[in-house]
Structure 1
Amino acid sequence: MRTTVFQRSPWAALSLLLSVPLLSLIYVYVNRLDLPAYSLETDLDRQIPFVKIFVLPYLGWFAFLLAGFVYLAFKNRAIYLRTLLRFNAGLLVCYAVYLGYQTTVARPEVADVSWLDHLVLLVYNGDEPVNCFPSTHVLTSYCLLRAFRETPGAGRPIRLAVTGMSVLIILSTLFVKQHVLLDAVGAIAVVEGVYFAADRLAALRAKRNAASPGDPAFRPMPDSL
């Protein structure tokens, strides 16, 4: 089977990560729209305390994603490419929801008296309290967690580290009051839905290729979903 340069070269594969900041331009656009926003906060959310130390894993999200994708690009490019495609598909679902159903979250008053307070205020000042459901922090962290569960070459310590960091980031969205519980649940549901749809498409494609192996119109296609 013929392979593409993205399947052969980890550096070429990593260049596809540029798709993520390009897609984020949609987020920037939606974030500036003056849309009616609704709150999904529940009584349970109001019981969750504000814990400013969790701003550290929240801010570590970008480095975590970058390190995870670099590892996958060199370790298992097939899983890397599938994960990136599903990752981007999930982001597009989130952005579509933001356009159709804007949500907001109530933030606590934070006095700038410590370095942790300063970091929290940096987060708050750099991001409007809208575009909350589903949470892209949760979606992307959970997506990477799933990818490492499927990577045969990833050892147990690496999988545990990825799982631990993913869980910390997901919790940080709640403890830093950037999101509510339904935002996190919605994000996980989006990932599971994208994976389900991708697996169904891959199964249908495999069935189609097996049914007509000699027909040029049914040549096997790489599983990129």
Structure 2
Amino acid sequence: MNLLKKNDIQHKLRISAPLLVFMVFYMIWFSALEQNTGSHYHVIYSSLDSLIPFCEYFIVPYFLWFAFVPAIMIYLLFADETAFRRTSLILMAGMLFFLITSTIYPTILYLRPAEMPNDNIFCQMVVRLYQTDTPTNVAPSIHVFNTLVVLEALHTCRGRLARNPLVLIAANVLSLLIVLATMFLKQHSVLDVLSACIMFIAIVWCVDQFDFYEVRKPARVRDDITA
């Protein structure tokens, strides 16, 4: 029994290792991009951006993204290994494309308000966000792309929890709020969101042309579809 559990843990670690290693690689590259102040940035702006008001309350779903994406990935790892492999591949492809694009075509936006409209905890949270996240390297929006990827994975997952209508409704609502938050917090332009949607559709289509994420699992490891 203990040996089986040990084998299960090792199996899960092997499956998740590529994504974990890639995230370290991603953070190193992204940090280098953020610190490269000598680049000539291309301004991202749409007239629609001026029609969207700043709303500090969207900081809540914006920050929930940092729990939402890992939570779904952990669930997929235990509920549907094939879905986890597929979703990991899509995430890595999209984030790699973003890194290459930001290196070749660095972007910036000037949408952030000069001062906060209110003095409340939500505005204070936005100020902290602005201090830690520069308005550069914004297109396409990884916040939006990753949200769409894990939401689609949840809808196609074979796990029991993923078939619960209330869970799917909650995930849909939160995903919508996260996407809106990127624009209402002036973190991203409408163009960033649209480019993320296009990237999502294109990469999902390309990945699904192949079945190399469909790997046969060892006989002693059961794919728990009842999670």
2:72 to 62, 68, 72: 68
Check 1:222–1:22 CA distance in 2 against 1; reply closer, same or farther (3 A cut): closer
Aligned equivalent of 2:176: 167
- How many residues align? The count is 202
Higher RCO (Cα < 8 Å, 6 or more apart): 2
TM-score, with structure 1 as normaliser? 0.82
In the other structure, the counterpart of 1:223 is: 214
What corresponds to 1:210 in structure 2?
Answer: none
- Cα deviation for residue 141 of structure 1 reads 0.5
Identity of aligned residues (%): 27
Q: State the 1:12 CA deviation.
A: 4.3
Shift of 1:22: 3.0
Q: For residues 6 and 139 of structure 1, do their structure 2 counterparts lie closer, same or farther at Cα, with a shift above 3 Å needed?
A: farther
Name structure 2 gaps, 5 residues minimum: 1-6, 216-227
Q: How does 1:79-158 map to 2 (within 5 A)?
A: 79-106=83-110, 107-111=112-116, 113-153=119-159, 154-155=162-163, 156-158=165-167
Amino acid at match of 2:204: Y
Once the two structures are TM-superposed, the CA of residue 40 in structure 1 deviates from its matched residue by: 2.3
Q: How far apart are the structure 2 equivalents of 1:30 and 1:122?
A: 20
Q: Take 2:158 and 2:102, find their aligned partners in 1: how far apart are those partners?
A: 35
Question: Which blocks of at least 5 consecutive residues in structure 1 are unaligned?
Answer: 203-220
TM-score by length of 2: 0.82
Out of 188, 192, 206, the residue aligned to residue 197 of structure 1 is 206
- What amino acid does structure 2 have at the position aligned with 1:90? G
Cα distance in 2 between the residues matched to 1:86 and 1:52: 31
Q: Which amino acid aligns with 2:27?
A: S
Matches within 5 A, 1:42-53: 42-53=46-57
Are 1:31 and 2:34 an aligned pair? yes
What amino acid is the match of 2:192? D
Deviates more, 1:123-132 or 1:104-113: 104-113
SS class of match (1:158): helix
